[in-house]
């Protein structure tokens, strides 16, 4: 599995919002500058994060973006899946009919890859933005 650049930008944006303790709302330009994120990518991923219920947007002259949840309740899995969809390291893990060995659930490779995928998901869930903003990783 390869985390795409958009997920990397999304993680940076959420971390910027998690570290924002002085103001409730940050505008896109500020997030863009602090995270070194191209604005067109930022706006696209902010929409996905809003749809996933991770951040909220505020309109108006003092509008911008803020976390909808507490940083401790947001983890890396949440962000990656909001941007990329469900985490899978091989298509046969979500669609048994694509097994090139035509074994479906009886494939030893499926079992091994499922274990790797489960461990990775578990590890991503353990890393929350409360810890990241405190630099405890």
What DSSP string runs through 1-38? ----HHHHHHHHHHHHHHH--S-S-B-HHHHHHHHT--
Could you say which DSSP state residue 96 is in? G
pLDDT of amino acid 62: 85
Terminal-residue alpha carbon distance, the chain: 22
What pLDDT, on a 0 to 100 scale, did the predictor assign at position 83? 96
Q: What is the reported pTM? A: 0.86
Tally of CB atoms within 10 A around 79:
28
- The confidence band for 92, taking pLDDT boundaries of 50, 70 and 90, is low
Composition of the chain by helix, strand, coil, percent to 5: 60, 10, 35
Is 70 exceeded by the pLDDT of residue 101? no
The class level of CATH for 5-133 reads: mainly alpha
pLDDT for the residue numbered 90:
72
C-alpha 75/C-alpha 87 separation (Å) is 14
């Amino acid at each position: 599995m390869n985390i795409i650049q958009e997920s990397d930008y999304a993680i940076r944006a959420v971390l910027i919002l998690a570290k924002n303790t002085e103001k409730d709302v940050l505008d896109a330009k500020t997030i863009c500058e602090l995270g070194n994120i191209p604005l067109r990518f930022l706006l696209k991923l902010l929409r996905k994060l809003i749809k996933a219920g991770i951040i909220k947007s505020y309109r108006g002259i003092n509008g911008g973006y803020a976390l909808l949840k507490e940083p401790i309740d947001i983890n890396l899995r949440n962000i990656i899946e909001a941007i990329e969809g469900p985490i899978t390291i091989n298509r046969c893990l979500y669609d048994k009919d694509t097994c090139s060995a035509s074994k479906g659930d009886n494939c030893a490779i499926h079992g091994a890859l499922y274990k790797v995928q489960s461990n990775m998901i578990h590890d991503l869930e353990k890393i929350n933005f409360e810890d990241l903003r405190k630099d405890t990783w």
